[in-house]
Structure 1
């Protein structure tokens, strides 16, 4: 990438800042015209916690998207895709199997598939507690909001927040006495029932909150071999939290959650089939994830600081089983359908277990103090095991037959600090630093199926790295509701070992892959114009060294891993506009240019070239929505009528390093229309009204094209009762 592109991106950010500063100084605040909150109101009081302290979102010097229940329906089966679709320059890559889905932001991406459970460029956390790819993305149960922060967040979240962080904030047991029951029914067997509520057990001292859910979906992809639908889901989940506040200075939150999520997602589908999507697998695929978590959060306030201790343990169990020799696809290459329709062979079953322990201690400055700071220490441990059995047809993939018994143990110890220092009335300087040590050990045992594989191979290896990540920034407040910032950040994604040791069947051990490191430069402006409008604009440039890469050569059926440098730059904008008391527009748009640089070695042999786009990174992303509310009194009825419609656009992306497989752009349109009052809500909804099938991965099998495809149209009705 030449300097002029970087310069152009920076100048665009500065120009946007100056333009908005002029608009902000001339904008007169518009008074609130109604005492009742409606969907059209522009919020300026949202506080976020993703950076480990409370701050108003309009003042945070970071590009942010805040999503609430109106933005993502609680019954959404693919919350990762929903979050990405409503966040500029963000893409969710769904490989239809638990433990292999991931997200990218601003062109900072996983280059292929995740190498292990900790190989991610985007961090994911629940109430500030990080999880791994094994736990991403869970169902959204009793959620207050989702915070999406773009750009490296390694100071407070550590490794693997190279491109950004997604933090899910759940509702707390705050002593409010309430109960809510929601039920939905819809097409393709959609069934959803959720109950949630809270109560004060001892006034001002002990409070309880809980939620339970049952959800079912029959699927909408026809399997022509089994004559049935696949792609279905069965979900059961529960969450409970207890809050103890013996006095005004001490808060203890104890939270436990459990979910069992079962899917029947097909693997590759033949894109060229006339009745796409149709599956040709000869067994029903099985995808299951059980996720249990317990968290103890203790917060004690003193006059000069607040002490917080967060202790959490997660247990994640995953089972993926399926047929990777789809009859429709391989019959295009070898026209013998009976050869591929055998439930006894060509199956891969993978069981994964991961235990995650996190302990964090931190000190925060008092909330009302001008000098804001946080310092802390964090310990993270992952105990991951993989058991895999493969019995592939001799014509395809027999060199990968056998059984694997792998264990990866990872630990991180870190110290971190972050500070915001006011410089007079208008300027503020921010900075943060994290010092950490990663260690990872691999113990692998492989048993093969000679003569096409070795008889056995054992490996025991270790990897360690000391590193620093952090950021520095400068903020200027032009006036009430308007600020601009510039920042530079150092990001880090941990190195380690490939979880499946793909070379073992050929008698080769797996070397560790290098950690990825990045520099990110950003210019941005945030503006709130009274209760009328809000607009955020940011320009960015990312330089990534040793991006972690994995790929699959479908002609030789060989897996390769390596590291590859890449760069990206772009612009993103998001905002809201209140047109009237009853109508508002909201949305965002992002533009990203990306390219691979310094290509050589295994990357070049795999088809990468200098200047090729980074896989799975679209040039354009956009979302646009409208919210309408109409008081029932206008038509002589009680309550309020409402309509909310959102469209998300995902631009074309390449699936591979060689940029040979291009996935077309798509639009997803969701709507919800209903009537509600203080206690009742009746609504109808339509998800993916255009019935477009989002393609998340594509590979050319020397003629036929195999793809992963998302869900189609879903129509339904629902009701919610509160008391």
Structure 2
């Protein structure tokens, strides 16, 4: 049944298959995705693609794990310049972002709660670059720099990769220094004033003892949304990346690599613009249409794909990430001892318009943040005739400091406060003395926030692979982890006159809060895998994994009680507890010209950490809550074939069934929020009843999880033909890469107003590459100019305004690459 369903996935809703081995002995090393000999990753061997998913060097098809590999050259020619683009050739990845800090990378729909980032919670998809863990998801928005290959490990990886990999891991390997001189150059230009330049140079300093590698990239693209208020294009791209590595080989058995990197972004970004309105339970004269009418306001366009806005607060998304790492690999005894030491920093300097309009409602919304992290891993891995094993220790310490600010403007009183009992549809106030009619009540009201978090994590881990027979292997793994978190949140609120004495209306908009929270816990996680070689080219496996994600601290403000005081019991959330089952089949046929890999999985999470949308005005970013139980299950199929040197094809698909199994006290969706509190005497009104009664919470058991498409797919291929260009021998080629995902919810509690319809994207390329290292090609992304949304959200306060971020329009350009 699994094989039949997977075959249907390939035929009906294909997605990208990365598991590929060389189809012909004389065809060179196959690329990890398309089988192109030209695009061979350096970590391939004559027998197939080499990976390090189990912290030792192995052939991809020999590893009983759902893992996909994308070579660096495949990333370049498909335009997969960052994790957001990677999801278009990896259907099991979901990536959402409203700005670099508020980003989430999920695998199989799990990993990070959907919504604005809360500093007190961790990601569930670990991102590693050269074996160093990156705790800030913001790194995923930067351009990939000098990448050798990317391994996407699907399913819990807690034994070897730690507590932050309950959904999987993305392991990025950069190109290493070489003892043979080499250089790479790339220049791209395109519409929207796009310019990108990349380069690297590598070579020896002391014969075969010391080598260095330097790489740099710079890219810029004009924004895709025009701001009439500032007369500027916004949501632009502006990236700078620098990386240096030094490899020292004092002996044949010892490699020491020192690396440093610096990455900076400084775009005018990130705007979310008017999409639509939806009726809530708030009185009709306090919903968007009536409020806008009271100010004589209308958005520049009610069609988001006109790409117009009038946001009146400056936009900024400045960030810089960098660090230093020292990796030592010493062949000793039957295996290799590896030490990875690292320090990293992240600085974030944003400015946002959180009312999403051209009115002075919220005139300041910024949460600048700084982080330092230190990590040390020590492990030993060995392979033998009957036993393969790896064991090690890991230590991690992180410090975060965020100094946020929010300030209300002259339109805030009328927009946010109750004007009194007025006739339905009337934009006026009941009495001239109502606070809503007095701009001074909220004008200048300002919250200064000081948020701090310290995290310490320690772990010991080990995994053993026992070759019971030539075909049967048993693989148990275990990890013990200790976490300690100390957090504090202080919000000092002052009026426009500088007073700290607030009335109830002011406290309801920006509430003073001060609390400390501590979390500490021991956790045991592990996995057990049985694998069997059905034949030389067929591997079957079954896995059970018990994993967890560390508990969290709410560090974005707490929900308020009836007296507008913070509910301190909501200051922490419990750890997630994950039970995961998986079966898989990895096959090759047609003389290894074709690969078909199948995986079926069932994942259940108790105490799922959800970022929930809060209708209260005093909590700006939502807060964290535990859902009792969620379930994600599905089937994946990866297929690739290279029938000849001229043609390579790939297709794969993912079917994912997902739901809140039990979440009885969830926040309600927008259409049920904003009304007076329901009670026995006044039961909850039907959804979208203006002036109705709203339940305190909603039972969303059985509903969709946010951000997950039931169907996701990608497919494509490349055809080449030998020829000459300007006297240089080589081959002309044409390629296509397409992706599809079905409808998904863009709100933690599914709403009729925030479902995003499914869409398909197609990218094309046409070029010529020479035998001596030159490559020139034209490309077009979103070739059919599909109009789609990356994310939808609602304005706080239950006004019914729905805003969104339109996906990129059609882009096109030319790229020239050279290798020496």
1:548 equivalent in structure 2: 609
Q: 2:775 aligns with which of 681, 687, 692?
A: 681
2:316 to 259, 272, 286: 286
- Is 2:182 aligned against 1:170? no
Counterpart residue number, 1:612: 703
Q: 1:383 aligns with which of 382, 393, 399?
A: 399
Residue 82 of structure 1: SS of its match in structure 2?
helix
The 2-side partners of 1:220 and 1:511 are apart by 39
* 1:402 aligns to 2:447 (yes or no): yes
Match of residue 574 from structure 2: 514
After TM superposition, the structure 1 = structure 2 runs for residues 505-654 of structure 1, keeping only pairs within 5 Å, are 506-509=565-568, 511-529=571-589, 530-554=591-615, 558=619, 559-564=622-627, 565-603=629-667, 605-632=696-723, 638-654=729-745
Matched position secondary structure for 1:58: helix
Indicate if the aligned counterparts of 2:662 and 2:702 stay in contact, CA closer than 8 A. no
Secondary structure at 1:32 match in 2: coil
Q: Please, which of 533, 536, 558 is the counterpart of residue 477 of structure 1?
A: 533
1:721 CA displacement: 2.1
Aligned to 2:382: 365
| Closer/same/farther in 2, CA of residues 506 and 133 from structure 1, 3 Å limit | farther
Take 1:348 and 1:446, find their aligned partners in 2: how far apart are those partners? 14
Partner of 1:664: 757
- Picking from 97, 107, 110, the partner of 1:108 is 110
Q: Give the secondary structure class of the aligned counterpart of 2:572.
A: coil
Q: Which moved more, 1:40-49 or 1:288-297?
A: 40-49
Q: Which of 387-396 and 149-158 deviates more? A: 387-396
Of 455, 461, 467, the residue aligned with 2:517 is 461
Deviation by residue 1:3-26 (Cα, 9 ceiling, x = unmatched) = xxxxx879968999xxxxxxxxxx
User: What is the 5 A alignment of 1:114-513?
Assistant: 114-116=117-119, 118-137=121-140, 138-272=142-276, 273-274=302-303, 275-327=305-357, 340=359, 345-366=362-383, 369-392=385-408, 393-394=412-413, 395-396=415-416, 401-449=446-494, 450-451=502-503, 452-453=506-507, 456-503=512-559, 506-509=565-568, 511-513=571-573
Q: For 2:613, what is the secondary structure of its paired residue? A: strand
d(CA) in 1 for partners of 2:4, 2:453 = 46
Deviations 1:219-258 (A, max 9, x none): 1212232232111122111100000001111110001000
Q: Distance in 2 between matches of 1:135 and 1:618?
A: 23
Q: d(CA) in 2 for partners of 1:413 and 1:636? A: 60
Q: Residues of 2 paired with 1:507 and 1:40: CA distance?
A: 57
CA contact (8 A) 2:489 2:555 kept: no
Check 1:684–1:30 CA distance in 2 against 1; reply closer, same or farther (3 A cut): closer
Q: Corresponding residue for 1:331? A: none
Partner of 1:152: helix, strand, or coil?
A: coil
Q: Does 1:86 align with 2:89?
A: yes
Whether the 8 Å CA contact 2:118–2:623 is kept in 1: the answer is: no
Equivalents in 1 of 2:175, 2:416: separation in Å? Answer: 50
User: Aligned in 2, Cα 1:163/1:608: closer, same or farther, shift over 3 Å?
Assistant: farther
Question: In 2, Cα distance between the equivalents of 1:620 and 1:225?
Answer: 40
Q: Deviations over 1:497-525 (max 9, x none)?
A: 12323448844445111111111100101
- Secondary structure of 2:160 counterpart: helix
Residues in 1 aligned to 2:354 and 2:247: alpha-carbon distance in whole angstroms: 48
- Which residue of the partner structure matches residue 426 of structure 2? none
Q: Is the 8 A contact 1:314 1:355 kept in 2?
A: yes
1:52/1:128 contact within 8 Å kept: no
Change (3 A) 1:402 1:555: closer
How far, CA to CA, are the matches of 1:266 and 1:30 in structure 2? 45
Instruction: Name the CA shift for 1:608/1:263 in 2 (closer, same or farther; >3 Å).
Output: farther
Which of structures 1 and 2 has the bigger CA Rg? 2
Match of residue 49 from structure 1: 52
1:22 alignment partner in structure 2: none
Distance change (3 Å), C-alpha of 1:374 and 1:33? closer
Change in 2 beyond 3 A, CA 1:690/1:502: farther
Q: Is 1:32 aligned to 2:32, yes or no?
A: no
Q: CA separation of 1:663/1:437 partners in 2, compared to 1, >3 Å: closer, same or farther?
A: same
C-alpha deviation, 1:406, in angstroms: 0.9
Q: Deviations over 1:650-699 (max 9, x none)?
A: 22101224321211112222222211112311111112222234423223
**Consecutive unaligned residues in structure 2, runs of 5 or more:** 10-21, 38-43, 277-301, 418-441, 495-501, 669-695
- Per the alignment, do residues 288 and 120 of structure 1 end up closer, same or farther by CA in structure 2, a change over 3 Å counting? same
Which residue pairs with 1:71 in the alignment?
Answer: 74
> Within 1, Cα distance between the matches of 2:380 and 2:273?
51
- Tell me, yes or no, if structure 1 residue 718 matches structure 2 residue 815: yes
Q: CA deviation at 1:587?
A: 2.5
Q: Which residue in the other structure is 2:18 paired with?
A: none
Are the aligned partners of 1:14 and 1:523 in contact in 2 as well (CA < 8 Å)? no
Q: CA deviation at 1:179?
A: 0.9
TM-superposed CA distance for 1:153, in Å, is 0.3
1:24 is matched with which residue? none
> Secondary structure of the residue that 1:487 maps to in structure 2?
strand
Alpha-carbon distance in 1 for matches of 2:254, 2:24: 38
Alpha-carbon contact 1:89-1:591 (below 8 Å) kept: no
Bigger drift between 37-46 and 200-209 goes to 37-46
What residue in structure 2 maps to residue 5 of structure 1? none
Q: Distance in 2 between matches of 1:180 and 1:30?
A: 27
Q: 1:601 & 1:141 partners in 2: Cα distance?
A: 44
**Could you tell me how far 1:35 is from its partner in structure 2?**
5.7
Compared with structure 1, are the counterparts of its residues 635 and 142 closer, same or farther at alpha carbon in structure 2 (3 Å cutoff)? Answer: closer
Aligned CA distance change for structure 1 residues 556 and 135 (closer, same or farther; 3 Å): closer
RMSD value, Cα: 2.8
Quote the Cα distance in structure 2 between the aligned partners of 1:117 and 1:235.
Answer: 27
Corresponding pairs, count: 689
Give the 3-state SS of the residue equivalent to 1:136 in structure 2.
helix
**What is the CA distance between 1:161 and its match in structure 2?**
0.5
Q: In structure 2, what is the Cα distance between the partners aligned to 1:98 and 1:651?
A: 25
1-structure distance, mates of 2:581, 2:3: 9
